[in-house]
Structures are given as C-alpha cells and as structure tokens.
Amino acid sequence: MKQEIKDEALEQLKKDILFGFENGDELFESIRELFYDEDDFDEEWLKVEIESRLQKHVDDSKNWQHPTDFERLVKVFDQLNREKIVSLHMAGHTRQDAEGDCMEIIDELGAIGIEAKGYCYYHSQDLERAIEKERMLFIGYDSTNQNNDIAKEVVERIVDLLQTNGFNVKWNGSLDTRIEITSINWKKTPDNIDYNYGRVFEIIEKYNNPKTELKPMRNKPFWKFW
C-alpha cells in the first residue's frame, strides 16, 4: 500500500472524525469506498487507525464545555422543524445533494397533508470550513416554492433563532446569499442519531397533525461523492 494512499486516507479520516457523524463501522465503510479500486489497500491498518483516532476524539470530548455549538445548532434546527421549516444537518456533499434531500422530505410531508414553509441545511463541504481555520459555517435556505416573500420570512427566522442561541451571524439581506455563522467551534462525537430524515419526521409528527399516519422512514445514508 503506497504511502500517498495512506496519507490521503488519513486526511479524509481526520475530517470525518471531526465532523462527528459517523461511528467506527461507518468510517471504515466510507473510507474504504473512497479507495475501492486500490487492490492492495490495507484494511487492517485502516481499522487500527480508525479505532485509535476515534477513541482519542471521544476521550477529548469528555473535557468539552456544554452546550457545544453543535448542540446549540441542533436546538435551532429542531425549533425550525417544529415551525415546518425542514432543517437538515450535513445534508450530502453539495448544494444539489442538500436541496434534493430537503425537497424529498417536503414532498413526503405534502403526501400526508403537511405543507412545509421552507428549508435550510449545511452540507459536508460547508462543514469542512467549520473545522478548518476559517471556523465558519454556511447555512443554505429557501422557501418550498421559491417564493421570495416566504423565503425572506424563512431566512429572517433562521437568523433570529441563530442569534438568540448565541451564534455570530452574517447575512447581507440578499436572498442570493447564504447565512454565515462565524467563529463557530465545531465539536461533535458520533451518537447514532439520524439528524436528517429520522429527526425531522419525529418532530413533525409530534408538533403537527398529519392527515394520514406517518410511515417509518428508511434509513437514508449520508451522501458521499469522491
């Protein structure tokens, strides 16, 4: 196994562990998939690296102050979901992925008689900026039907909740510009919680009255494009 392949695998592993969404098995699967065409890839080496690095991350988390910025962001997104603004954490790798996931949920909500007002999200490329020196996180948003008046209500509500929960927020008032959370201190460990489909529908069911019974959602994996 070439050293350059090891270096590339470790770089991706470092990011994924800091993101904090994947457990050990998921980390192995996603990294191995990245190098699917490497016949001499050392899987045992990767398993050892994942175990040691993930354990260190978990050990470090015991000294974190709470609530973390992620925990506060969850609080914001949960409230938005209560208000029928579909809000997804780490929704895919690109804007197209994220908006596709949001609209899929919105369509399924519509099928049971719940009309979503809009949506917001951040994806893995956004999260890379949060864990690097930039320490900033973009939040994308829109209304369900790209109605500018409703989109303005959506973004203003998102900004208000973020600021109320202590985030430093920048938004220039243009619907063509995403919300920017600055000076974010990203800290998260894997907790086996589905912060997308599962959590959205759990909240929707609790705080709204669907016309038909919600069907159990399939386990939808995080998107990864390499």
What long-range pairs does 211-215 form, CB within 8 A, spacing at least 24? 211/112, 211/113, 212/111, 212/112, 212/113, 213/112, 214/112
Q: What is the pLDDT along the chain (226 residues), one digit of tens a residue?
A: 899 999 999 999 999 999 999 999 999 999 999 999 998 999 999 999 999 999 999 999 999 999 999 999 999 999 999 999 999 999 999 999 999 999 999 999 999 889 999 999 999 999 999 999 999 999 999 999 989 999 999 999 999 999 999 999 999 999 999 999 999 999 999 999 999 998 998 898 788 877 665 454 444 444 443 3
Structure-token pair, residue 63: 């000294």
Q: Answer yes or no: are the C-beta atoms of 74 and 162 closer than 8 Å.
A: no
* Separation of alpha carbons 206 and 217, rounded Å: 15
List the domain boundaries for the chain: 3-61, 69-207
Q: Answer yes or no: are the C-beta atoms of 54 and 27 closer than 8 Å.
A: yes
**Which pLDDT belongs to residue 171?**
98
Amino acid identity of 113?
Answer: G
Tens of pLDDT, residue by residue over 94-153, are 999 999 999 999 999 999 889 999 999 999 999 999 999 999 999 999 999 989 999 999
Residue with tokens 């996603």: 30
Task: Determine the angle formed by the axes of helices 197-207 and 69-82, rounding to 10 degrees.
Answer: 50
Closest CA to 220 of 20, 13, 21: 21
**Which pLDDT belongs to residue 209?**
76
Three-state DSSP state, 196: coil
Closest CA to 17 of 48, 58, 69: 58
Report the phi/psi class of residue 73: left, alpha or beta, with left for phi > 0 and alpha for psi in -120 to 50: alpha
**Which pLDDT belongs to residue 225?**
34
Please classify residue 75 by burial: count the beta carbons closer than 10 Å to its beta carbon, then call 0-12 exposed, 13-18 middle and 19+ buried: middle
**Which pLDDT belongs to residue 219?**
45
**Which pLDDT belongs to residue 212?**
65
